[in-house]
Amino acid sequence: MDALSAGPKGTVLSERQRIAWLRLIRSDNIGPATFRDLINHFGSAEAALAALPELSARGGATRAVRIASEAEAHRELEAAHRFGARFVGIGEPDYPQALKQIDGAPPLLAVKGALAAAKRPAVGIVGSRNASIAGAKFAAMVARDCGRAGYTVVSGLARGIDTSAHRASLETGTIAALAGGLDQPYPPENIGLLEEITGGNGLAVSEMPFGWEPRARDFPRRNRLIAGIALGLVVVEAATRSGSLITARLAGEFGRLVFAVPGSPLDPRCHGTNGLLKDGASIVTAPADVIEALAPLAQFELFPSSMAEEPPREGGAMTMPPGDTDRSRIIDALGPTPVEIDDIIRHTSLSASAVYLILLELDIAGRLHRHQGGLISLSD
């Protein structure tokens, strides 16, 4: 585990860059993938911010795009400071190394607590909120032994299995991924647990703004953080339709190891985990099953450091914007069915740089929909 534990390298953002990054990710129609594409094309967040109004207009926006102001960014930075938190950019040394490799990794994470927890290899543990005594006890066993083996335990601060995993790894290090802002933890009964985590060897992380109260649609984003930070995910008790299975699906898409604890076919809380085993997840009947399977992954630097500014996209940035004819060809080629960008390039015979820029225009204008796997479609 030495390679990942030794401490990753990276590029530290200047305060000016951090403010620009915060403004860009908090602006309308800018998600992680769009953020990345803008940085790739324009070279910096400041240049991207300056280009947003023109890009939005060329993409056919019906109203001016809202761009977060410097004052708003400063207020959020000040709120983080008052809360004892900070923002870490992708590519900086304190950003979780495994997370930055996934598609759509958050450009900025709000973090509070012991940053060392993010520099060690991690294992995710999730499961039923309405956990059985046996399930909660087993989750704690796995968390405790994985922590002693040098892994940070990451979970979602939910009731049940998440709570057991966090509590069992307080001494060795645990990461709580939040669906809302760091100052809006959920559920309320785990506020004390969160304070124990951030006041000790653990860390709280969120990609949402301060003051953001979590909604139902925010929890899959939280699950994405868990799956991305961890090298492997252990599911302990999960119903057929549950957030834990969403996390497991994401972990599989990210190339992580997925483990499941078998349970009684008569217990609805185990239907999801038993289904994962049928689909090829690794069976877990003892903590050693997880530790031994993850050991080869933790021995090597699987996630090499990257710079804070990503390299230019292949084909380079265009010096002149594409014309209306090229834009119409791409819009005509798109529809409600998700397609790959490479297929658009082949279908239209336009240069890659022209296609990427036109897609950026449509995206910022709110006319593009991004799907899993890099697929895109035209919004309704």
What is the C-alpha radius of gyration for the chain, rounded to an integer number of angstroms?
A: 21
Give the domain 324-378 fold. Answer: Arc Repressor Mutant, subunit A (1.10.10)
Q: CATH 3.40.50.450 region(s) of the chain?
A: 98-299
What CA–CA distance (Å, rounded) separates 65 from 38? 15
Q: Where are the alpha helices (DSSP H) in 110-218?
A: 133-148, 161-168, 191-199
Six-digit token string for 2? 């030495």
Say if residues 263 and 274 touch (Cβ distance below 8 Å): yes
Q: Which CATH architecture has domain 98-299?
A: 3-Layer(aba) Sandwich (3.40)
Q: How far apart are CA 18 and CA 341, in angstroms?
A: 30
Residue 340 contacts residue 36 (beta carbons within 8 Å): no
Give the single-character DSSP code of 195: H
Tens place of pLDDT per residue across the chain (380 aa): 433 444 456 789 999 999 999 999 999 999 999 999 999 999 999 999 999 999 999 999 989 999 999 999 999 999 999 999 999 999 899 999 999 999 889 999 999 999 999 999 999 999 999 999 999 999 999 999 999 999 999 999 999 999 999 999 999 999 999 999 999 999 999 999 999 999 999 999 999 999 999 999 999 999 999 999 999 999 999 999 899 999 999 999 999 999 999 999 999 999 999 999 999 999 999 999 999 999 998 765 555 544 444 434 444 444 567 888 989 999 999 989 999 999 999 999 999 989 989 999 999 999 998 887 788 899 86
Report the C-alpha gap between 46 and 272 in whole angstroms.
Answer: 46
pTM listed for this prediction: 0.89
C-beta of residue 12 within 8 angstroms of C-beta of residue 92: yes
Which residue is listed with tokens 């185990």?
A: 270
Let me know: does 298 contact 1? Beta carbons within 8 Å: yes
Q: Which amino acid is at 74?
A: H
